[in-house]
Amino acid sequence: MYGKFFSHFKTECMYLHSFKTAEAVKTAVCKYICFYNHQRFQKKLNNLSPYQYRTQAA
């Protein structure tokens, strides 16, 4: 599970930017986690984001 997240994280976030400060890295990580959980659809979750999937199941 975590292997896929980190693979996507590196490919879709870290490898696309060159960061000059630790604060820039922190901001990018926070933005990506928000994107991943709220906007990025996932096939295994019936093309829903993790947040949409969890709220649908509740």
- 33-42 tens-digit pLDDT: 999 999 999 9
Report the predicted TM-score, pTM, of the whole model to 2 decimal places.
Answer: 0.78
Residue 24 sits at φ, ψ, to 5 deg, of: -65, -40
Task: Please report, for the chain, the start and end positions of each structural domain, with discontinuous segments joined by +.
Answer: 2-57
pLDDT at residue number 3: 64
Residue pair 15/28 in contact (Cβ under 8 Å)? The answer is no
Summarised one tens digit per residue, pLDDT across range 4-28 is: 889 999 999 999 999 999 999 999 9
The answer, yes or no, to whether residue 1 has pLDDT greater than 80, is: no
